[in-house]
Amino acid sequence: MTTLLAIIVFYLIGSLPNDKLLSHLFKVNVLELLERRPNYLMFNNLTNAWALLALAFTDFAKGIVPLYLGYRLGFSSLELSYLVIALLLGHYYSIFNYFRGRLGIVVCIALYTTLGWSVMLVALGAYIVFYLLFGYRVVANALLAVLIPFYAYWLNPTYMIPVVTLSCMIILRHIGLLIRTRYGYYLPDCNGLLQRLYRDKDFLI
């Protein structure tokens, strides 16, 4: 019963509409800023920059604070892994926003701390590398979800079921965006290294 109640609480925490609250606070549309491409347009004034930094901070807090409280309440690492899934479902399908949500890579990286801080650091480093290589946030998110289960298996195979479930949730949430990206509906967020090499391939030859 305690675990079931915790699952509900974690889902509600994940559903918290911090983007809307920050939009009212900073008098900007945070979701619109996130959709702008290329990324430097997101920071064309100080208010936008502070709003996006506040969103990243609150997203990270949304992931890490419930995990810390769950740990203090005595939940095992395996139980916390399943509570993480409930929290991510709340973030993806927010009950306060008609079951719509954001991709939330910051939340996902924070949630990887259930496996240890090393996993979170590996996830953050891998995300930055993938992002700089390909230039798309959505591609970096999906590749990160593919990579982390391998690292988790090497670290501790006990957590493979919740980790793979979490990765599958991330990939399924990104499939539509990946397809649209593949067919050119999205411009890159930045000039990734592989894009530059492809554009300059005649020079390289």
Tally Cβ neighbours within 10 Å of residue 79: 19
pTM, full prediction: 0.76
Residue 41 has pLDDT above 60, yes or no: no
pLDDT in tens, 52-63: 888 888 888 888
- CA–CA separation, 141 vs 4, rounded Å? 29
Angle (nearest 5°) at CA 108 between 181 and 190: 35
Please tell me what DSSP assigns to residue 193.
H
152 has pLDDT over 60: yes
pLDDT tens digits along 81-133 = 788 888 888 888 888 887 777 777 788 888 777 777 788 888 888 888 888 88
Q: Residue 119: what are its φ and ψ, rounded to 5°?
A: -65, -40
Residue whose pair of structure tokens reads 């590398």 in the numeric block: 129
Quote the pLDDT of residue 201: 47
Residue type, 110: A
**What average pLDDT score do residues 161-173 get?**
82
**Sequence-ordered strand ranges (E) for 134-181:** none
Q: What whole-number distance in Å separates Cα of residue 41 and Cα of residue 58?
A: 22
What CA–CA distance (Å, rounded) separates 71 from 45?
Answer: 39
Give whole-number Cα distances, 49 to 18, 30, 37, 40, 70, in Å: 16, 10, 15, 10, 32
